[in-house]
Structure 1
Amino acid sequence: MRYKIFLLIYAVFYILAGCNHFISTNGYYAIMPKWLPAHEFLIYLSGIVEIILGILLLFSNTRKLASLFIILMLLAFIPVHIYMIKIAPFMLGEILIMPFIAWLRLPFQVFFIWWAWYYFRNPGKV
């Protein structure tokens, strides 16, 4: 039962995070490293990918693949988190991101990678 609840939370988290790329697009521009090309395209692409991966987590036959791609996606996002640390303090929409908050995001990345790894190793039958 706990497996199902946390799986649902994790899947919904990615679906909502992906939707947020379309709702709060402007906020993502602030955290995009200048050296990355096509900011708008990457913001929308990552939103679509997050939504798809969140949905794929819900099905036992695609859960392992979705988990693997979530891990790869989160690893790919690490340069963005490092960039956030470098530019802090900065405004993310109406929220002031201080260096401490920017640093806190890195352990969360590790936690989310672990969470995906758990479902990769234990895809289960839900």
Structure 2
Amino acid sequence: MSTQRLARLKTPLVYVMGSVYVIAGVGHFLVPDLFAQIVPPQLPAATALVYLSGIAEIGLGIGVMVPRTRRVAAWGLVALLLAVFPANVYMATSGVVIQGAPPAIADPGVGRWVRLPLQVVLVVWAWWYTADPPENAI
């Protein structure tokens, strides 16, 4: 894909990304027990961490869609993705059956391992918005 075409997609894609984080964050409040199952057992207060990460996803998802806060929110998303990476590693390696999860990730298997490289894609996507915007951008 050409750099010019990618640049044209940058603005619409930020709204896709932001919306995905808001929806995911709301999910943390609708089914907290589902998310709590993938919090590594070494961490305390799994449900509280699920709620905190949900608040962060909602706030940062909204923030990345607002031009004035986009850069700092994008850095926040990078940090959040790195912070939740251990949960994805735990999910992939634990062998725990995740009650209430979609079939692709409920049982241990390839579906869980796909999330690990997906995290890299998500970090790069968020990082794309950390650069200073051009002066004439809105």
Calculate the TM-score normalised by the size of structure 1.
Answer: 0.91
Q: CA RMSD in A?
A: 1.6
Q: Is the 8 A contact 2:38 2:91 kept in 1?
A: yes
Instruction: For CA contacts below 8 A with separation 6 or more, give which structure has more relative contact order.
Output: 1
Q: Which residue of 2 aligns with 1:19?
A: 26
Alignment CA distance shift 1:50-1:112 (3 Å): same
Counting matched residue pairs gives: 126
Does residue 1:99 correspond to 2:129, yes or no? Answer: no
CA distance in 2 between counterparts of 1:94 and 1:54 reads 23
SS at match of 1:91: coil
Identical positions, percent:
33
CA distance in 2 between counterparts of 1:27 and 1:107 reads 21
Q: Give 1 or 2: higher helix fraction.
A: 1
Q: Which runs of 5+ in 2 are unaligned?
A: 1-7
Calculate the TM-score normalised by the size of structure 2.
Answer: 0.83
Q: Which has the larger radius of gyration?
A: 2
| Partner residue of 1:60 out of 51, 67, 70 | 67
CA distance in 2 between counterparts of 1:104 and 1:81 reads 10
CA distance in 2 between counterparts of 1:71 and 1:108 reads 13
Q: Is the 8 A contact 1:88 1:102 kept in 2?
A: no
Please show how residues 1-126 of structure 1 align to structure 2 within 5 Å: 2-88=9-95, 90-95=97-102, 96-121=106-131, 123=133, 125-126=137-138
Q: Which runs of 5+ in 1 are unaligned?
A: none
TM-superposed CA distance for 1:38, in Å, is: 1.1
Alignment CA distance shift 1:94-1:6 (3 Å): closer
Which stretch shifts more, 1-10 or 48-57? 1-10
